[in-house]
Structure 1
Amino acid sequence: MAGAHLDSEPDTVGVNDNASGSAGLLEVALQMAKVKPKNKVRFAWWGAEEANLVGSTFYVTNLTPQQQAQITLYLNFDMIASANYMFGVYDGDDSAAQGSGPGPAGSAQIEKLFEAFYASRGQPTNAADFTGRSDYGPFIAAGVNIPAGGLFTGAEGIKTAADVAKFGGVEGAQYDPCYHDPCDDLFRVVQKGGDAALYAQLRSRYKLFGNINTFALDTNADAIATAVITYAFDTSTIPPRTAPAAAKATVAGPQTDANDLHLR
């Protein structure tokens, strides 16, 4: 299963947060319609993430334990094109030893898949902590231990000198200088409150379309496609569940819903 939140803060159209993740995921879903995967693939565009993960929480908590256990893994894409980006991959194994602990078993394997993708492009990554601030939160909190992973290019965090050495950009500025502000837009970013001097610096170093870093968006869209198509055919790297609910699910029939997109 893969998801991205469709809403934004009330005072901004939110082209990075989170039209970027929603659009990247939608393009992958459209392309997936051309193939016949071995495994069932479900896409979700969540409502009310900014109001404390309302949509994804409602979805997960209204599944039975058996239905939850049938979700082999969840991939989350929230802010994948920050103007002053870093390539953040959710830290499934807590290798950075910062903030929250590791994700459920299998999360480390998802992280490794993404890291291998960026390595193949000659791109570095940062470990992004499972803070619970995005829609993976209800999945990793579910009692059936759903592994999770995904991408994040940064929000109000500040880019460091080490980040600049890896990704370029402007040290001391936010990864997304328009995070939760009206200037998170495709047009008139400065007129809507963006720092004119900072965005002039960023445009001299990156190709921007409004508040979107087009290199980050393009690279991350390919990363999404790689992960989705990989797991659509093969989830053997994800270890078997040990939760009791997973055992119960083996005797339950397949669960379907007319509102879900099932690609076969």
Structure 2
Amino acid sequence: MRPNVDIQQWLQETREIIEQWINEDSVCRVAQPGAVEEAMRYSLLAGGKRLRPQLVMASTLYLGLPADTFRDAALAVEYIHTYSLIHDDLPAMDNDDLRRGRPTAHKMFPEAMAILSGDALLTEAFVKMGTIQTAKAEDVLRATVYLARAAGREGLIRGQVLDLAAERQDVELGELQNIHRHKTGALFKAALVIPAILSGNEREQQALLDFGEHFGLAFQIVDDILNVVGDPAAMGKNIGTDSALGKATYPSLVGLDQARRLADDHRIRAKIAIGSGPQSDILRRLVDFAVDRQW
């Protein structure tokens, strides 16, 4: 990280780079009206934070490599995240009408097309992983399997199943953490660990995994808090939806003040995991940003 660069500036610069990568991809260049690519493009270019691909870039820098070394891995993670949002918003799931300040995919397109666009983004992610040219073939295979597990029944899917099962139920704190370790944390951890796998850097994998564990929990706690007290205009989505669905959240379980203290505790633990050397500057600033954000 260049000296004295503000994290907001870094986020803006990398967001613009990632937007350019997405626009250059065939997924967005081939988007005829009525084609599945049109719906894929709509959700991909809806103005997201791009935090997960930014974590890929930040992890790559932490490992001493240029931030764009694993560009296709960054895109793969973003495509999986976007697919998950499309499916989470569906009437059968969270039934949300607004995402990133715009109508959700199933409101903009026929519901079947929204589902298919999510399916297509998920599979496109593994096309991206399988064609990475900046790593050894055996490392690409290991990273691809890691991402598949993070996105599948051992990770994100498990978290969504547990989240749905917990609606309007009495849930303990440990159960809530388990939901979010899977639903939110699995993809965060993958974004951070995959660069270490691709670069063959086994020594740093555990530090990045531990950082991702606490980063993911801190991020989700703040998300839960903002769903109670956030500004819908700044967040680009409605607030109060968790309560309306009877979802288990940190504020509902432990109260707002204790939830804020828990987020702070995970911030500290995330920073401890990666140390205080100059190579960890971006990651340390990112966890501060995740906890202190207002959207």
TM over 0.5: no
Q: TM-score, normalised by structure 1?
A: 0.32
Q: Normalising by the residue count of structure 2, what TM-score does the alignment of the two structures yield?
A: 0.30
> In proportion to residue count, which structure has more strand?
1
Q: Hey, which of these two has a bigger chunk of helix by percent? A: 2
